Amino acid sequence: MEEQKKPVILSGITPSGVLMIGHYMGAIRNWVALQHEYECFFMVADLHAITVRQTPADLRRRTLDIAAGYIACGIDPDLCTLFVQSHVPEHTQLTWVLNCLTSMGEASRMTQFKDKSGENAENNNVGLFTYPVLMAADILLYQADLVPVGDDQKQHLELTRNLAERFNFRYSPTFTVPEPFIPPVGARVMSLQEPTKKMSKSDKNEKATLFISDTDDAIRMKIKRAVTDSGTDIRFDEKNRPGVANLMTLYSTATGKSNAEIEREFEGLGYAEFKEAAAEAMVGFMRPMRERFLELRSDTTMLNALLAKGAETARNRARRTLRKVYKKVGFAELG
């Protein structure tokens, strides 16, 4: 009996910094579960990174940091394909074909372009304008059935679907039209210093973010200095008590306790006791990640070999798709 093909999932993170606990709680812990059920392609999206000016040495270092962080958080290169985006040139080759299918109106309506072009007025480049098309190429190259997306990426996935359907209609069925994947579990982790905005790996205030490379003492310090609220009781209320709610989310992840259980545990106690417990819980939770991350980063040869193996697997899949695309659009074959 023929083995049933697993649905394909693709996702990735841009190397603009070391992985943080927000990546793990919001995405990677779901990836860890998905790799057992789906055919997963997880990439370090370094091509996307250069829409913002980068220091070359920093970009190379952060690319390896992200790859090592994936593995430290539980991604298994033997169960999925782990690779660096720029190691697979088919991404940019397919992007050009898709650029020629994308109207100026479609690209200009992308809300993230409007936001990011306003933030980077001195570097308002064409890559920033067309990077949703590169994102579409990322997805379509691997014939992804499902794409994990947050609210800020739904519009880009819709563009991907439109381009796939347009190409299929114009040239004959070629691409799988991907569907959004809404994970069963996900946590929105907020800044420790500004709990009304998401935690960010590129936040200029390092006290706002818990990185998986943080030492035990750094984790304790960041949590104990986290912004809380004007109340005194430990109660989950994201709207009115965002600081405490954020710390409760972290504590819940580290301990497996529900918000109701946490509220009962700290009934009659104050912020000092709760922060102490939350800090120690996160230290114990994050220590294995940090130790594995440092182990991987100390052996660059081994890490590069893992990424080369992943790139080879990714290229084999990407070539098959690109070969079909080139033939259908009419490019002359080589040789």
Catalytic option among 5, 6, 197, 201: 201
Separation CA 320–CA 324 (nearest Å): 7
Strand partners, 179: 146
What is the total residue count of the chain?
A: 335
Q: Looking at 18-171, list the stretches that DSSP marks H as alpha helix, in order from N- to C-terminal side.
A: 21-23, 29-34, 46-49, 56-72, 90-99, 104-108, 111-119, 126-141, 154-171
Separation CA 213–CA 21 (nearest Å): 10
Separation CA 135–CA 126 (nearest Å): 15
Separation CA 166–CA 136 (nearest Å): 13
Separation CA 44–CA 11 (nearest Å): 9
Quickly count: other Cβ atoms within 10 Å of residue 313's Cβ.
16
Quickly count: other Cβ atoms within 10 Å of residue 194's Cβ.
16
Catalytic option among 6, 116, 154, 204: 116
* Residue 197 is among the residues annotated as catalytic for this protein: no
Q: Are 129 and 104 in contact (CB under 8 A)?
A: no
Separation CA 95–CA 225 (nearest Å): 45
Residue type, 31: W
Strand partners, 211: 20
* Residue 224 is among the residues annotated as catalytic for this protein: no
C-alpha 19, offset from chain centre: 9
- Provide φ and ψ at 109, rounded to 5°: -85, -10
Residue type, 335: G
Catalytic option among 198, 207, 224, 257: 198
Q: Are 51 and 131 in contact (CB under 8 A)?
A: yes
* Residue 198 is among the residues annotated as catalytic for this protein: yes
By annotation, the residues acting in catalysis are 116, 198, 201
